[in-house]
């Protein structure tokens, strides 16, 4: 059953956004703030999913501040991660120091993604000309010749001058539009599971740390009452890991994340884990006449480094800058305008994905050769330099290019 969360005239819808992840939700909000009539269609009944990214980078928080939303957003429960650390058999060291950034928000805010999306959806519903429909699974693209003119969901239609596909790494819209991605290669997968957080004894700043062993590593993301734990597997290694059971994972935690040893035995069954197949992929073309893909629909980012949310939101910002002035004129968008969004964003995506591919290849080579997974002495030496830690924080906080919202779009 479709849930109508905000009412307005169906006639005159200018834009239809498919997918209520961070990129789609932010773009819907920006379009509505700029006076563009917009409908967001979300296939699920709510925004709550297990093991979605929880990282709000300084660039995202600065955008929320520009929109006048940061104060209320950060009133919600969250953790401020000001450092990123590597823990190796040879010791621990800091690689990234957000405190060295010149920003009002010198940290990564760790907040369950559903909470962020619910917050932004609530602010968006109050805007004239915006509606959000949940439980709306798109089944068909509407066309006029070669041009896409809307979508069909269930037995209903939403016609629009522009359709935005922001429905994630397994994008149905991408398949319907025949815009396949090219895989760039990934050598690992992740098993996610949850363990309880114990604030009285747990390290106060462990929220985005990596713990390395000889052939696996674990990444942590802090939640208010839980730790979200990601345990790496070789690509395609899920069946073997499942056969081995949870004891190798518990043993890794006892040996390499010793402060979690007291609750490792709470992981009792593989049913408590969720497999995330790591992918790094990009569509050579992000658009058709009347349709534009953003976020993981256009380019699948590895979860390592937490860049996916930031890249999707920055796609939304660039799309808003380029398309809102044209949408305000009420004319069909030329495909060249959509191609321009891809041209502006593609260099940043290529840079981020190239770096992720290099990391994946290095890890695969180290495993094959029996070498340690953790970065070597040269990297550790560089990380001892404050300038290096600041540069790493700057790159992770803003991504390549640092696109910013044109303030005229929300003030005119």
Domains of the chain as residue ranges with CATH: 15-49+113-184+279-367 (3.50.50.60), 77-110+187-277+372-402 (3.30.9.10)
Matching residue, tokens 């000309």: 129
Q: Are strands 287-288 and 226-234 parallel, antiparallel or unpaired?
A: unpaired
Question: pTM of the predicted model, to two decimals?
Answer: 0.92
User: Which of the four pLDDT bands, split at 50, 70 and 90, describes residue 395?
Assistant: very high
Higher pLDDT, 383 or 294: 294
Residue 192's closest CA among 369, 55, 385, 53?
A: 53
Task: Estimate the share of the chain in helix, then strand, then coil, as percent rounded to the nearest 5.
Answer: 40, 25, 35
For position 207, what pLDDT does the model report? Answer: 72
Question: What is the Cα–Cα distance from 79 to 115, expressed in whole angstroms?
Answer: 13
Mean pLDDT across the stretch 218-247? 90
Are the C-beta atoms of residues 142 and 155 closer than 8 Å to each other?
Answer: no
For position 408, what pLDDT does the model report? Answer: 87
In the predicted structure, residue 1 carries a pLDDT above the cut 60: no
The mean pLDDT of the chain is: 90
Instruction: Record the tokens describing residue 294, joined without a space.
Output: 């953003």
Residue 202's closest CA among 185, 227, 184?
A: 227
User: Which of the four pLDDT bands, split at 50, 70 and 90, describes residue 6?
Assistant: very low
Digit-coded pLDDT (tens) for 296-329 = 999 999 876 668 899 999 999 999 999 999 998 8
Are the C-beta atoms of residues 51 and 276 closer than 8 Å to each other?
Answer: yes
For position 12, what pLDDT does the model report? Answer: 47
Digit-coded pLDDT (tens) for 351-378 = 999 998 888 888 778 877 777 777 877 8
Are the C-beta atoms of residues 81 and 203 closer than 8 Å to each other?
Answer: no
Instruction: Record the tokens describing residue 337, joined without a space.
Output: 């305008």
For position 203, what pLDDT does the model report? Answer: 87
Mean pLDDT across the stretch 72-98? 91
Instruction: Record the tokens describing residue 41, joined without a space.
Output: 């269609």
Mean pLDDT across the stretch 49-77? 90
Higher pLDDT, 195 or 362: 195
Are the C-beta atoms of residues 36 and 15 closer than 8 Å to each other?
Answer: yes
User: Which of the four pLDDT bands, split at 50, 70 and 90, describes residue 204?
Assistant: confident
Question: What is the Cα–Cα distance from 107 to 397, expressed in whole angstroms?
Answer: 8
């Amino acid at each position: 059953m479709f849930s109508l969360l905000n009412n307005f005239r169906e006639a005159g819808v200018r834009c239809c956004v498919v997918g209520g992840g961070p990129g789609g939700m932010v773009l819907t909000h920006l379009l509505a703030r700029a006076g563009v009539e917009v409908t967001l269609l979300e296939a699920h009944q709510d925004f709550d999913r297990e093991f979605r990214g929880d990282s709000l980078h300084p660039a995202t928080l600065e955008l929320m501040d520009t929109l006048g939303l940061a104060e209320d957003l950060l009133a919600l429960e969250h953790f401020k991660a000001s450092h990123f650390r590597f823990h190796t058999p040879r010791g621990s060291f800091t690689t990234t120091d957000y405190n060295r950034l010149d920003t009002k928000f010198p940290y990564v805010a760790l907040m369950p993604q559903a909470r962020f999306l619910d917050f932004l959806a609530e602010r968006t519903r109050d805007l004239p000309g915006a509606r959000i429909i949940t439980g709306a699974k798109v089944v068909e693209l509407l066309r006029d010749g070669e041009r896409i003119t809307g979508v069909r969901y269930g037995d209903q239609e939403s016609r629009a001058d522009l359709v935005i596909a922001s429905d994630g790494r397994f994008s149905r819209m991408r398949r319907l539009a025949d815009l396949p991605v090219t895989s760039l290669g990934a050598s690992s997968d992740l098993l996610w599971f949850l363990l309880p957080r114990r604030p009285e004894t747990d390290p106060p700043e462990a929220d985005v740390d990596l713990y390395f062993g000889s052939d696996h590593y674990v990444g942590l993301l802090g939640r208010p009452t839980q730790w979200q734990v990601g345990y790496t597997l070789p690509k395609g290694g899920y069946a073997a890991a499942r056969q081995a059971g949870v004891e190798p994972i518990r043993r890794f935690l006892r040996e390499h994340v010793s402060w979690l040893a007291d609750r490792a035995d709470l992981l009792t069954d593989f049913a408590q884990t969720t497999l995330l197949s790591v992918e790094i992929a990009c569509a050579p073309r992000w658009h058709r006449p009347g349709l534009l893909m953003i976020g993981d629909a256009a380019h699948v980012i590895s979860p390592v480094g937490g860049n996916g949310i930031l890249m999707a939101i920055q796609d939304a910002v660039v799309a808003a800058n380029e398309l809102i002035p044209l949408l305000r004129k009420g004319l069909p968008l030329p495909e060249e305008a959509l191609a321009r969004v891809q041209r502006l964003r593609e260099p940043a995506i290529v840079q981020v994905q190239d770096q992720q591919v290099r990391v994946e290849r290095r890890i695969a080579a180290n495993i094959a050769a029996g070498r340690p997974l953790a970065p070597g002495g040269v990297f550790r030496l560089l990380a001892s330099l404050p300038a290096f830690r600041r540069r790493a924080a700057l790159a992770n906080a803003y991504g390549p290019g640092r696109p910013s919202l044109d303030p005229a779009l929300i003030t005119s």
